[in-house]
């Protein structure tokens, strides 16, 4: 059985190898991804974003257990771009694997963006597609941080959950409204801590502010859920909130689902085009003995500036 | 006087216009940036990163005042990729401007990544270069979040400061060691809060762990500073820590400064190449009536997959 059939059959070992190859940006994965592509589109993707330390992993793990109790298979992708140097993601995988050790219905994999030149969004999308083709019913994608990459990864999800904790709230000013707009659901985790109600109120106010753009958002009013993930409290409510959003996506006539899929495809296409154009051009230059280091040297010596240099390269390489 | 001379003369209005054009990705800025490029390389760049709500802006403002008392001119760039939809950065600028209203030695500008298809790192680098050419002695760059983009922006700084607050610490596990490695200095802000000493200890432990890779890092042992930025407490110490790191960069014989400049140039070159290749290719397709929307439609209808489509486009467009 070749790797494509193995992944489609849901084989863990073959899938793990393929995901590792995607992470390592191995060239040969492209033809495999191509063959898997027609088998994608079945899984429901839930994205989690929020600052480090708000308890995303615990929340994701609890939700995974909940889905397992419903006999749904679960894929977990933990995107940790804060570990570009440490390879810490592997350690993290091991620790988390233990929690789901005896359950073959859960597949966990971390993505640590080992690639030097970006490609995070693209790798994440590729991995989502693999877990989808592998037959997972639900894919939980966890991203650290709230940067541009995380916003882009959010576009890959059907439902996006923004996680926060009490005490972060009083600094979330109106100016931070941007991140508010990517959330389908807001979770205040560690809700046993002082100030949880206040944080909920603040998020509510920000949502109300944002709802002035209600039409743009297609009318979905984000839900707020308080959780205490370590104790499993609020997981039932979170699960219900996700189901509500899912029902909304699939039932309304404004093409919300279509919009989600379109954003994801656009995202993936743009990232792939950028990455591949860069790689292909650098490979061609390399043949002529020009490396990224040679080019950088020219810029450092102020022989040229980055933009002019790039214009010259594109002038030579493009038809 | 043309815009280039105006920027070089430090004119605020012309510079503000240029920065806005960079943010809007106006095509004509390229030739201006090219002309300014030889005038860059004088400013000292300090980057600040950390989760929303840790008080980065207050810290940056206090430090700006400190530099102003030394008669150094200051440029502040606030990169807020969490506001891709809201244009909230402009509001933020206004609020902050007021604090430095009467001081022409401080120039503040926010960057909200209005561009749809990334380019954050590139725009930030371009803006740093403009403030540099404008004659600012110190440039303080503030980024929200800890994602991949923020790590890349950190590469643009001489000194990178990671800001945290007490109470976030107990969740900063060894697994998060990655972000630790980008920090030249760690600030525990709001140090009046309970648990500040504990957070300092935890960071110290993480640094010790990381120092096993001391050789890679060129021997700099990150400093930790406790601050209470709203009251101006600890700003003197932070300033001294930055000076120490600067002295280290400029004095040691391991080429640390060279390494910083090389990383920045590599970063800028890679981002520019990706962005321009994408833009140029899309412009060529557009002439033939092909837009990003047409391409996305093909993918959505599963007529092809993103990778195959990109391969075909590159095959046609590259020489």
Show residues of chain A in contact with B112, CB under 8 Å.
178
Show residues of chain B in contact with A85, CB under 8 Å.
178, 181, 213
Name B134's Cβ contacts closer than 8 Å, sequence gap at least 6: B7, B8, B10, B15, B75, B107
Please give the residue that has the higher pLDDT: either B276 or A116.
Answer: B276
Which of A178, A262, A319 lies at the smallest CB-CB distance from B296?
A262
Q: Locate the chain B residue with the closest alpha carbon to A312.
A: B273
Tell me: do B77 and B208 sit in the same domain.
yes
ipTM above 0.85, yes or no: no
The pLDDT assigned to B57 comes to: 83
A176 in contact with chain B, both atoms CB, cutoff 8 A: yes
The pLDDT assigned to A151 comes to: 64
Question: Within a domain: residue B311?
Answer: yes
User: CB neighbours (10 Å) of residue A154?
Assistant: 24
The pLDDT assigned to B146 comes to: 53
Region B216-241 average pLDDT: 89
Cβ of B175 and A88 within 8 Å?
Answer: yes
Show residues of chain B in contact with A166, CB under 8 Å.
none
Cβ of B83 and A179 within 8 Å?
Answer: yes
Would you state the torsion angle of the CA atoms of residues B228, A188, A101, B175, taken in this order, to the nearest 10 degrees? -20
Place of tokens 């209600």: A214
- Domain end residue (candidates: A204, A225, A254): A254
A255 in contact with chain B, both atoms CB, cutoff 8 A: no
Which of A82, A177, A302 lies at the smallest CB-CB distance from B88?
A177
The pLDDT assigned to A44 comes to: 95
> For the stretch B40-65, what's the b/e string if a residue is b when 16 or more beta carbons lie within 10 angstroms of its beta carbon?
beebbbbbbbbbbbbbbbbbbbbbbb
Residue of A30, A86, A312 to mutate, testing the B interface (most B Cβ within 10 Å of its Cβ): A86
User: CB neighbours (10 Å) of residue B179?
Assistant: 28
The pLDDT assigned to B256 comes to: 75
Tell me: do B292 and B244 sit in the same domain.
no
Name B234's Cβ contacts closer than 8 Å, sequence gap at least 6: B187, B191, B225, B226, B227, B228
Question: Within a domain: residue B73?
Answer: yes
Tell me: do A236 and A274 sit in the same domain.
no
Which of B37, B170, B276 lies at the smallest CB-CB distance from A305?
B37
Residue A33 in tokens: 């991804």
Question: Within a domain: residue B43?
Answer: yes
Show residues of chain B in contact with A265, CB under 8 Å.
296, 299-300, 306
Question: Within a domain: residue A197?
Answer: yes
Range of the domain at B148: 38-255
Smallest CA–CA separation between B153 and chain A, in Å?
11
Task: Name which of A68, A288, A232, A310 is nearest B271 in CA terms.
Answer: A310
Question: Within a domain: residue A274?
Answer: yes
A261 in contact with chain B, both atoms CB, cutoff 8 A: yes
Which of A54, A83, A274 lies at the smallest CB-CB distance from B178?
A83
Determine contact, residues A280/B319, Cβ cutoff 8 Å.
no
Classify strands B74-79 and B138-144 as parallel, antiparallel or unpaired.
parallel
Cβ of B30 and A307 within 8 Å?
Answer: yes
Tell me: do B69 and B151 sit in the same domain.
yes
Residue B133 half-sphere exposure, CB side, CA atoms within 13 Å? 25
The pLDDT assigned to A287 comes to: 92
Domain count along chain A: 2
In order of A15, B57, B163, B216, the CA distances from B49 in angstroms are 35, 10, 6, 22
Tell me: do A157 and A291 sit in the same domain.
no
pLDDT band at B233 (very low <50, low <70, confident <90, very high): very high
Residue B285 half-sphere exposure, CB side, CA atoms within 13 Å? 22
A291 in contact with chain B, both atoms CB, cutoff 8 A: no
Show residues of chain B in contact with A92, CB under 8 Å.
175
The pLDDT assigned to A227 comes to: 96
Show residues of chain B in contact with A307, CB under 8 Å.
30, 33-34, 272, 276
Question: Within a domain: residue B264?
Answer: no
User: CB neighbours (10 Å) of residue A118?
Assistant: 24
Please give the residue that has the higher pLDDT: either B16 or A107.
Answer: B16
Tell me: do A275 and A175 sit in the same domain.
no
Tell me: do A185 and A227 sit in the same domain.
yes
Cβ of B92 and A175 within 8 Å?
Answer: yes
- Domain end residue (candidates: B255, B289, B309): B255
Tell me: do A154 and A115 sit in the same domain.
yes
Contact pairs from chain A to chain B, CB under 8 Å: 271
Question: Within a domain: residue A17?
Answer: no
Per residue in B181-192, pLDDT tens? 678 899 999 899
Cβ of A146 and B149 within 8 Å?
Answer: no
Low pLDDT (below 70) residues in chain A? 52, 80-105, 111-119, 144-154, 168-181, 210-218, 252-254
Tell me: do A211 and A75 sit in the same domain.
yes
Q: Locate the chain A residue with the closest alpha carbon to B166.
A: A167
Name A128's Cβ contacts closer than 8 Å, sequence gap at least 6: A43, A45, A77, A139, A141, A156
The pLDDT assigned to B242 comes to: 97
Rounded Cα distance, B91 and A29, in Å: 45
Tell me: do A59 and A143 sit in the same domain.
yes
Cβ of A82 and B314 within 8 Å?
Answer: no
What's the CATH code of the domain at A82?
A: 3.40.50.300
The pLDDT assigned to A305 comes to: 87
- Domain end residue (candidates: B255, B283, B304): B255
Which of A177, A310, A317 lies at the smallest CB-CB distance from B318?
A317
The pLDDT assigned to A211 comes to: 62
A123 in contact with chain B, both atoms CB, cutoff 8 A: no
pLDDT band at B99 (very low <50, low <70, confident <90, very high): low
Show residues of chain A in contact with B91, CB under 8 Å.
174-175
Smallest CA–CA separation between B97 and chain A, in Å?
15
B92 in contact with chain A, both atoms CB, cutoff 8 A: yes
Show residues of chain A in contact with B148, CB under 8 Å.
81, 84, 113, 118, 120, 147, 149
Region B248-267 average pLDDT: 79
The pLDDT assigned to A91 comes to: 43
- The partner residues of A139 in beta bridges, in order of sequence, read A45, A75
Tell me: do A148 and A213 sit in the same domain.
yes
Question: Within a domain: residue A260?
Answer: no
Tell me: do B76 and B184 sit in the same domain.
yes
Rounded Cα distance, A205 and A227, in Å: 19
Rounded Cα distance, A213 and B37, in Å: 41
Cβ of B83 and A178 within 8 Å?
Answer: yes
Region B63-75 average pLDDT: 91
């Amino acid at each position: 059985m070749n790797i494509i059939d193995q992944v489609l059959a849901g084989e863990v070992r073959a899938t793990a190898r393929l995901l590792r190859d995607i992470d390592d940006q191995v060239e040969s994965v492209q033809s495999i991804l191509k063959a898997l592509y027609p088998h994608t589109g079945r899984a429901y993707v839930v994205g989690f974003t929020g600052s480090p330390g708000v308890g995303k992993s615990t929340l994701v793990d609890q939700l995974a257990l909940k889905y397992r109790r419903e006999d749904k298979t679960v894929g977990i992708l933990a995107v940790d771009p804060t570990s570009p140097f440490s390879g810490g993601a592997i350690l993290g995988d091991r620790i988390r694997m233990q929690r789901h050790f005896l359950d073959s219905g859960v597949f966990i994999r971390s993505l640590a963006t080992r690639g030097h030149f970006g490609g995070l969004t693209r790798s994440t999308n590729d991995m989502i597609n693999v877990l989808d083709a592998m037959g997972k019913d639900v894919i939980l994608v966890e991203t650290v941080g709230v940067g541009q990459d995380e916003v882009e990864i959010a576009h890959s999800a059907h439902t996006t959950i923004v996680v926060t904790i009490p005490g972060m709230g009083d600094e979330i000013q109106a100016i931070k409204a941007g991140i508010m707009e990517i959330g389908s659901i807001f979770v205040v985790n560690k809700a046993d801590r002082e100030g949880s109600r206040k944080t909920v109120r603040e998020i509510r106010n920000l949502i109300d502010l944002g709802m002035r753009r209600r039409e743009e958002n297609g009318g979905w009013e984000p839900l707020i859920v308080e959780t205490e993930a370590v104790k499993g409290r609020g997981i039932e409510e979170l699960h219900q909130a996700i189901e509500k959003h899912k029902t909304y996506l699939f039932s309304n006539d404004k093409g919300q689902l279509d919009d989600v899929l379109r954003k994801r495809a656009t995202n993936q296409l743009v990232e792939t085009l950028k990455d591949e154009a860069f790689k292909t051009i650098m490979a061609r230059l390399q043949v002529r003995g020009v490396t990224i280091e040679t080019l950088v040297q020219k810029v450092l010596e102020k022989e040229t500036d980055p933009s002019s240099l790039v214009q010259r390269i594109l002038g030579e390489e493009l038809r």
